[in-house]
């Protein structure tokens, strides 16, 4: 976030982040010391925050302590988005993305700041671009460098700003991109959460804007090989792009269509088909460029979880997909995901230093430069992923049951009630979906009052309606066996 917003706004975000993540109200002097601020500066920042962000939050002072109140629909990402969209850098980013071709003189005429202040801010923005291996031209003001890096940079900033800015690429219809992404979900057996879908749409809009302006990606020999391999693996030539072929009014080259497709890896998504997970981990037909990512993901997960008997395939998939986004980075690129802001994940099963030690060594051995240059954010992602994954492992094992009744939900609720009365609270929980289109099945057992085909990857009990005493006893035995595992 440094250089993306002003230094004072960055310090305000650090202040807000600390108040968001601190469970207890904090003494003023302790907060000032924590943030390396004087008491006078701290008071000034609090007053400015309360004025600038009055629609979102309010910091109050009582008995020498600070209290943070916020709207229920506001979190730290909301405030980050606000700071970005009201920054000098964001104005430059939007103008250059829209190809406005404004020189320094035009900018000075439209901005209420002195020439020296403008050049200072311009230099700060240039420093940010340099961390992404990009250059800021002055006349006209524009961003130049590797085309993939430019697209990645624009996408990354606009995604971060979206909660506040909304849809800003007005000459591209969001609804068309949404339909295309939904089509992709159905074809690939994947699911984007509502926020991830918007992020993917923003990235697609950036890519399409650059194509419309005549900025095309030039592949070197190595890049061309792995893009061709990805096209073969996903059979992209036969994928239906008709929804977006005409969205920008100019023909889209085939290799650019491939990039629009692969851009799905810029955002997180979930699989809801177990076979898709197994295919992704298969060595038989994998994409050539994915192999080193897969090998690295397997080594990291196997090293950290070597003494744990857990289903870790999904962890490997999450890592592979996360690593693939770095294909969009030719060299080191500064990402905004980490931003030195703290996150409280509890309980912490794996300490960050332990993960960093393993990951650093394995990335170094892999020879993957784009991962090595972004090691900090990768370590943070893995730290969050592994500890979130372990949260439910600390809970007492519950049997997750999906009840299926031929006659519908009323009959299902009756069967659930019968089961609940047979067992102590907390041992059994019920799944609502049998065939989800958002995630993999989340149940250990299916109970149906009518024979059904079982392709769900877990045991199935065919019961009578109402269930017999023997059937309930068999369920009790199943639960006992699961608790012993």
Q: What is the DSSP string of 242-299?
A: HHHHTTTSS---HHHHHHHHHGGGGS--EE--HHHHHHHH-SSS--GGGHHHHHHHHH
**Rounded CA gap, 243 and 222, in Å?**
30
Does CATH place domain 396-484 in 3.40.50? Answer: yes
For residue 1, pLDDT beyond 60: no
pLDDT of residue 396: 55
pLDDT of residue 339: 46
The CATH code for residues 7-72 is: 1.10.10.10
The shares of helix, strand and coil residues in the chain, as percent rounded to the nearest 5, are: 55, 10, 35
**Rounded CA gap, 203 and 166, in Å?**
13
**Rounded CA gap, 119 and 126, in Å?**
10
pLDDT of residue 393: 62
Q: What is the average per-residue pLDDT within 165-177?
A: 94
Tens digit of pLDDT for each residue in 262-272?
Answer: 889 888 888 87
Q: Name residue, tokens 């004087």.
A: 38
pLDDT of residue 461: 86
For residue 8, pLDDT beyond 90: no
pLDDT of residue 340: 46
Q: What is the average per-residue pLDDT within 236-255?
A: 87
Say what the pTM is: 0.81
With the CA atoms of 79, 85, 90 and 96 taken in that order, what torsion angle do they form, in degrees rounded to the nearest 10? 140
Tens digit of pLDDT for each residue in 208-221?
Answer: 999 999 999 887 77
User: 396-484: same fold as 7-72?
Assistant: no
Report percent pLDDT > 90 for the chain.
Answer: 21
* 16-25, 42-51, 116-125, 184-193: least confident range: 16-25
pLDDT of residue 437: 61
For residue 334, pLDDT beyond 60: no
* 339-353, 364-378, 435-449: least confident range: 339-353
Identify the residue with better confidence: 485 or 323.
323
The phi and psi torsions of 66 (rounded to 5 degrees) equal -105, 140
pLDDT of residue 450: 78
* Residue 338 binned pLDDT confidence (cut-offs 50, 70, 90): very low
Q: Where are the domains of the chain?
A: 7-72, 83-266, 273-393, 396-484
Share the mean pLDDT of the chain: 83
């Amino acid at each position: 976030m440094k250089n993306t917003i002003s230094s004072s706004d960055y310090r305000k975000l650090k202040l807000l982040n600390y108040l968001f993540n601190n469970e207890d109200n904090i003494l003023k002097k302790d907060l000032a010391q924590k943030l390396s601020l004087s008491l006078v500066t701290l008071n000034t920042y609090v007053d400015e925050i309360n004025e600038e962000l009055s629609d979102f939050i309010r910091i109050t002072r009582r008995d020498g302590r600070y209290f943070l109140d916020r709207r229920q629909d506001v979190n730290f990402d909301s405030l980050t988005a606000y700071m970005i969209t009201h920054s000098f850098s964001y104005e430059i980013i939007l103008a250059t993305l829209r190809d406005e071709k404004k020189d320094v003189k035009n900018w000075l005429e439209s901005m209420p700041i002195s020439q020296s202040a403008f050049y200072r801010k311009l230099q700060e923005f240039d420093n940010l671009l340099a961390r992404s291996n990009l250059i800021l031209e002055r006349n006209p003001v524009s961003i130049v460098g590797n085309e993939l890096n430019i697209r990645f940079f624009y996408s990354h900033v606009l995604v971060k700003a979206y909660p506040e800015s909304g849809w800003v690429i007005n000459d591209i219809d969001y609804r068309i991109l949404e339909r295309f992404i939904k089509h992709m979900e159905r074809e690939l057996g994947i699911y984007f959460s509502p926020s991830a879908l918007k992020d993917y749409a923003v990235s697609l809009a950036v890519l399409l804007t650059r194509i419309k302006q005549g900025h095309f990606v030039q592949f070197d020999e190595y890049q061309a090989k792995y893009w061709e391999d990805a096209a073969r693996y996903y059979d992209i030539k036969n994928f239906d792009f008709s929804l977006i072929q005409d969205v920008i009014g100019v023909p889209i080259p085939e290799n650019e269509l491939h990039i629009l497709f692969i851009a799905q890896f810029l955002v997180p998504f979930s699989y809801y088909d177990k076979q898709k997970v197994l295919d992704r981990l298969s060595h038989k037909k994998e994409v050539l460029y994915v192999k080193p990512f897969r090998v690295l993901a397997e080594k990291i997960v196997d090293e950290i979880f070597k003494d744990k008997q857990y289903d870790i395939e999904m962890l490997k998939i999450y890592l592979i997909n996360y690593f693939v986004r770095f294909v969009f980075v030719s060299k080191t690129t500064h990402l905004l995901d980490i931003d030195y802001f703290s996150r409280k994940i509890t309980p912490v099963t794996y300490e960050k230093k332990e993960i960093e030690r393993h990951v650093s060594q394995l990335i170094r051995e892999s020879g993957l430069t784009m991962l090595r240059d972004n090691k900090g954010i990768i370590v943070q992602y893995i730290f969050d992923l592994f500890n979130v994954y372990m949260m439910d492992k600390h809970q007492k094992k519950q049997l997750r049951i999906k009840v299926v009744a031929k006659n519908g939900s009323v009959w299902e609720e009756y069967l659930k009630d019968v089961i609940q009365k047979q067992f102590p609270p907390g041992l059994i929980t019920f799944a609502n979906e049998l065939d989800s289109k958002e995630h993999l099945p989340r149940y250990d057992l299916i109970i149906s009052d009518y024979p059904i085909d079982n392709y769900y990857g877990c045991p199935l009990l065919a019961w009578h309606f109402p269930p017999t005493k023997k059937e309930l006893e068999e369920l009790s035995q199943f639960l006992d066996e699961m608790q012993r595992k």
